[in-house]
Amino acid sequence: MVVDVMQATIPAMTTALLTEDIAQRVLQAALDRGGEWAEIFCEDRSSIGSSLDDQRVESLTTGRDRGAGIRVVVGDTVGFAHTADLTEASLLDAVAAAASVAAGRTSAGPMGALKVGPKRAPLAAVLPETIAKDDKVALLFAADDAARALGGEIAQVQVGYADSRRRIVVANSDGLFEEDDQVRVRFMVMCTALGDTGLQTGYQVLARTQGFETFDEAAIRVMAEKAGRQAITKLSARPAPSGELPIVLAGGSGGILFHEACGHGLEADHIVKDASVYAHRVGQQVASKGVTLVDDATMDGEWGTARIDDEGHAAVPNTLIEDGVLTDYMWDFLRARHTGRPTSTNGRRQSYQHLPMVRMTNTYLLGGPDDADDIVASTPHGIYVRQLGGGQVDTATGDFVFGTSEAYLIENGEITAPLRDANLIGNGPEILSRIDAVASDFSMTVGTCGKDGQQVPVGCGQPTMRVTSCTVGGTA
């Protein structure tokens, strides 16, 4: 058992991270050293996590991280430095380090006054920090009890809880001064069932950009039962077939596929390097008619939601593909600035120690006119995917491989036998062009997106839909 409870020795989260007068002086110092543009990103993040395994609390950890990152830009060159000390002297030292890229240049002159944005309270009815640790741990045991009550097949239950509060302030030499207060909560259950065919697992997660009001014991028990039943059902799974087959993706289940196979290829850093299969294709048909792909950080409570991006710009929804036609890419501020267009507010970073880059937020396909049950009924033979596992994609070609973690055979228009885990192998643009039915039962799922060593929370979603043909790597 690991217990790591760090006592906070830094100011409470009500303390201002950055004042306007300090921001003005630090940014001006960057311009005086020859910078063309400069930015300060301040962050104060607190977190708590606990886990239960084999009916024992394995860990209870709390953490606090606080600091600032400084960017100084000259042409296409970016200087970056970060510090855990938010005093003006330390920020000026970081400016000196970041501004080394501007050595020998003259001052850009005085900057204008900062335009201070609104104060933003956290979007949480109940702040997790006001809830006792014992009450959070009690949810772990409730989930464990619910899963084990399903029967002796459940051999192991692992449960995890986490919450975080992240305050950020962003100021730049264009006069921007914005802040946000972000609260996120997450609960995970993984069950392992043991039977004649060996071990099988079931997994469920609930994660929201809101407060502790997300959880109640009844909902947690339902979630644990779902994970346990998933594991038990897979004990009787048959080997998945191999070859080209129609695939029906249940609502929410395939969001991660489109996030990886399509979304990453629409991020502007890949586009400007000609490292994406979607480069130079705006205005072209890249998907079946009826397919609309959106990235939207403004969705209420979703895992990738935020009111501003990590460059301080107010979040807006972005339509990337509309009725099958590619309409735009996702942009961070600097790449948008270099091309003379507005940012799509997709600049995100893992922490103050990282540079921002183009990242997705909540990426999803809109619902369509079809009925989910009718889609299955009109599929004579295929695979019904209720939950996808992990995967990977080559953005330059669009080729992907994804694992299934819960799938069933479709026979004569009915969902029948559960299948063992298999791989879906294909190409993003080809899959988009093979969607022939889109239902109205839209739902979201959650994930953590990794890119260039940085991890950020994202939401993924879609309605039930059918892909006419996809390569299945099964074992039958």
Q: Residues 208, 256: one domain?
A: no
Please, which pLDDT band fits residue 13 given cuts at 50, 70 and 90?
Answer: low
Q: Residues 283, 174: one domain?
A: no
Please give the angle made by the CA atoms of 324, 327 and 329, to the nearest 5 degrees: 120
Q: Residues 230, 330: one domain?
A: no
The tokens for 445 are 């799922």
Query: What DSSP line would sit under 354-388, residue for residue?
Result: S--EE--SEEEEPP-SB-HHHHHHT-SEEEEEEEE
pLDDT of residue 392: 82
Residue 4 has pLDDT above 60, yes or no: no
- For residue 167, give the nearest of 153, 181, 151, 178 by alpha carbon: 181
Q: Residues 464, 379: one domain?
A: yes
pLDDT of residue 269: 95
Residue 1 has pLDDT above 60, yes or no: no
Please give the angle made by the CA atoms of 235, 199 and 55, to the nearest 5 degrees: 110
Please, which pLDDT band fits residue 393 given cuts at 50, 70 and 90?
Answer: confident
pLDDT of residue 240: 93
- For residue 40, give the nearest of 114, 117, 95 by alpha carbon: 95
Residue 294: strand pairing partners: 319, 364
Please, which pLDDT band fits residue 5 given cuts at 50, 70 and 90?
Answer: very low
* Domain interval for residue 69: 2-234
pLDDT of residue 396: 87
pLDDT of residue 476: 63
Q: How many residues comprise the chain?
A: 476
Please, which pLDDT band fits residue 359 given cuts at 50, 70 and 90?
Answer: very high
Average pLDDT, integer, range 210-217: 96
* Tokens 């335009």, residue located: 115
Enter the pTM of the model: 0.94
CATH code, domain with 146? 3.30.2290.10
Number of domains in the chain: 2
Residue 160 has pLDDT above 90, yes or no: yes
Please, which pLDDT band fits residue 260 given cuts at 50, 70 and 90?
Answer: confident
DSSP class of residue 263 equals: I
User: Phi/psi of residue 142, each to 5°?
Assistant: -65, -40
Residue 136 has pLDDT above 60, yes or no: yes
Average pLDDT, integer, range 442-450: 93
Please, which pLDDT band fits residue 276 given cuts at 50, 70 and 90?
Answer: very high
Average pLDDT, integer, range 428-433: 93
Q: Residues 320, 285: one domain?
A: yes
The tokens for 300 are 């209420």
C-alpha–C-alpha distance, residues 83 and 349, integer Å: 16
pLDDT of residue 14: 57
Q: Residues 310, 189: one domain?
A: no
Residue 8 has pLDDT above 50, yes or no: no
pLDDT of residue 16: 87
Please, which pLDDT band fits residue 461 given cuts at 50, 70 and 90?
Answer: very high
Residue 6 has pLDDT above 80, yes or no: no
The tokens for 461 are 């979603």
DSSP class of residue 171 equals: E
C-alpha–C-alpha distance, residues 23 and 399, integer Å: 45
Average pLDDT, integer, range 407-434: 95
- Tell me if 40 sits within 8 A of 26, measured CB to CB: yes
Q: Residues 326, 294: one domain?
A: yes
Q: Residues 214, 351: one domain?
A: no
- From 216, 234, 252, give the residue that closes a domain: 234
Residue 475 has pLDDT above 80, yes or no: no
Residue 340 has pLDDT above 50, yes or no: yes
Q: Residues 418, 271: one domain?
A: yes
Residue 455 has pLDDT above 60, yes or no: yes
165-206 pLDDT per residue, tens: 999 999 999 999 999 999 999 999 999 999 988 899 999 999
Residue 2 has pLDDT above 70, yes or no: no
294-323 pLDDT per residue, tens: 999 999 999 999 999 999 999 999 999 999
C-alpha–C-alpha distance, residues 467 and 462, integer Å: 13
pLDDT, mean over the chain:
94
Residue 281 has pLDDT above 80, yes or no: yes
Residue 468 has pLDDT above 80, yes or no: yes
Q: Residues 207, 268: one domain?
A: no
- From 202, 234, 266, give the residue that closes a domain: 234
Residue 349 has pLDDT above 70, yes or no: yes
Q: Residues 229, 84: one domain?
A: yes
Residue 11 has pLDDT above 70, yes or no: no
Please, which pLDDT band fits residue 7 given cuts at 50, 70 and 90?
Answer: very low
- From 208, 234, 260, give the residue that closes a domain: 234
- Burial environment of residue 385 by CB neighbours within 10 A (0 to 12, 13 to 18, 19 or more): buried
DSSP class of residue 313 equals: P
Q: Residues 229, 113: one domain?
A: yes
C-alpha–C-alpha distance, residues 223 and 188, integer Å: 9
